[in-house]
Structure 1
Amino acid sequence: MAISEEQLIKQHLPLVRRAALQLIARLPANVQLDDLMQAGMIGLLDAARRYQQMEQAQFETYAQTRVRGAMLDELRSQDWLPRAVRGKARQIELAIQKLNHQLLRPPTDSEIAESLDMEVGQYHELLDDAHGVQVLHYEDLHGGQDAGSAVELDKAGSTTPQNQLYIKRLREALVQAIGALPERERLLLSLQFEHDMTQKEISLTMGVSEGRVSQLRSQAIARIRAELGENDWTQSADEDILEKLI
């Protein structure tokens, strides 16, 4: 028996809160949970209205992408990341790029701090300030085109063969950049995106403070963006496409 739009929404309300909590854990403190949930509810309502039950098509998969997409749209409309934060993140990325060339390996915290002419503690504060730069959707790096992802790609205007090839190559570059991370940072991303752990759970698993988890994640994202920047991915990528992958 077909499920009504109202039933779909009621059954999947927890999905909205879960998605908002997962997203806000990686964003600056100025972003409000209620704003994300309100945007997510709009995405869920849109998903319920558009969804047509088909064999091998799960509403939850479809709704997750619509909800997350609505939240990202809300963040973009708010210009949620101040220019000063972007500038600090870029400062870290450029230092990492420089050291990658010099050392031919991922630089340590102390080496990055020295390159930036600051103490390690100051560098860690800079990582705290850069928290929230881009959002990495690990699952987007591994799979194909399910119902939800296809909708999001269409929304970004990227279903042309040329853009599909571009996205495929960008995913491959991202996987390679993640593979080049130091082991601890790879573990952190795996715990967060593959195992869906909270920051508190990750801190307990890794034996570090929650603040340090946040710093390590900021550093991992900076390393990934620095690696992509080597081949101008971050400059040439369409912002809507890159937002879904980073």
Structure 2
Amino acid sequence: MYTAKGTLERDDQLRKYSPLVHRLAHHMIAKLPASVEVDDLIQVGMIGLTEALSRFEPSQGVQFETFASQRIRGAMLDELREGDWMSRGSRKLQKDIELAVHRLEQRLGRPPKETEIAQEMDMSLADYQQTLARVRGTQLVYLEDMGGRGEDEDHFLDRFLPADAEDDPSAVLGDQRMRRSLVEAINKLPEREQHVMSMYYEHDMNLKEIAAVLGVTESRVCQLHSQSIARLRAKLREH
């Protein structure tokens, strides 16, 4: 049971950190299909914030905002998993793109161009780009589920790696291999796609801000992001 004072303090904390929930929800919604409502993410994010307030221990040596961000993002991901938010057809399209990229990389020995991927999939460039927009969201769990390690980490690649390091030497070795493979794969992305990934994951820029920097539309940024993830997943299939 909470005292009246404790309840008021909890309410003050919820109000103080509610902008964090909104920011995380709007950042995540950009990678999701139009059928997902940002208000739904905010609602479950507030539940995650409440849980974070209950469980946070300053002695853990992390800032509350870092701890709360993980709880909030986790609550949103759990809700998305339970809601089965991505259609089977979209998942198949994502896999088809990955396989096309993989085949082309094997043949060409370099990252394929968009036009080459479209041709490999027997599509026009316009149809392929529309497909990239359709699969937006299939990559969410792939990156977000691998969680962040905290604001004290400099490189955005750390956000792609497991939050909890295992003591098992074989698990540690596997994590190191994953890290090396992912770093190598991202370094081999076309330069523009590297910029998109860095701005989005390292600098927490939204689609509108990235579009302004690149001089393209927000929908084009979505396409580049989806294509980047397809390239990464195709590359990591080899490991």
Fold agreement, TM-score > 0.5 = yes
Match of 1:102 among 104, 107, 118: 107
Answer yes or no: is 1:208 the counterpart of 2:216.
yes
Percent of paired sites with the same residue: 44
Q: Equivalences for 1:142-153 in 2 at 5 Å?
A: 143=153, 153=163
Instruction: Name 1:74's counterpart in structure 2.
Output: 79
Instruction: Name 1:240's counterpart in structure 2.
Output: none
For residues 36 and 47 of structure 2, what CA distance do their matches in structure 1 show?
18
- TM-superposed CA distance for 1:221, in Å, is 0.5
For residues 76 and 169 of structure 1, what CA distance do their matches in structure 2 show?
27
- TM-superposed CA distance for 1:81, in Å, is 0.9
For residues 65 and 90 of structure 2, what CA distance do their matches in structure 1 show?
34
Instruction: Name 1:48's counterpart in structure 2.
Output: 53
- Give the partner amino acid of 2:233: R
Deviations 1:73-120 (A, max 9, x none): 111111111110000011100000000011110000111111111211
For residues 81 and 112 of structure 1, what CA distance do their matches in structure 2 show?
23
Aligned-residue Cα RMSD (Å) equals 2.5
Residue 230 of structure 1: SS of its match in structure 2? Answer: coil
- TM-superposed CA distance for 1:10, in Å, is 2.5
For residues 215 and 229 of structure 2, what CA distance do their matches in structure 1 show?
21
For residues 60 and 163 of structure 2, what CA distance do their matches in structure 1 show?
21
Does the 8 Å CA contact 1:5/1:49 hold for their aligned counterparts? no
Give me the TM-score of the superposition, normalised by structure 1.
0.82
Residue 12 of structure 1: SS of its match in structure 2? Answer: helix
Instruction: Name 2:63's counterpart in structure 1.
Output: 58
- TM-superposed CA distance for 1:168, in Å, is 3.8
Match of 2:93 among 88, 92, 100: 88
Residue 237 of structure 2: SS of its match in structure 1? Answer: helix
Number of residues paired by the alignment? 221
Does the 8 Å CA contact 2:52/2:71 hold for their aligned counterparts? yes
Residue 33 of structure 2: SS of its match in structure 1? Answer: coil
Does the 8 Å CA contact 2:115/2:125 hold for their aligned counterparts? yes
Mark the runs of 5 or more structure 2 residues left unpaired by the alignment. Answer: 1-5
Does the 8 Å CA contact 1:24/1:33 hold for their aligned counterparts? yes
Instruction: Name 1:237's counterpart in structure 2.
Output: none
Give me the TM-score of the superposition, normalised by structure 2.
0.84
- TM-superposed CA distance for 1:169, in Å, is 2.9
Task: Flag as ranges the 4+ runs of structure 1 deviating above 6 A.
Answer: none
For residues 71 and 163 of structure 1, what CA distance do their matches in structure 2 show?
27
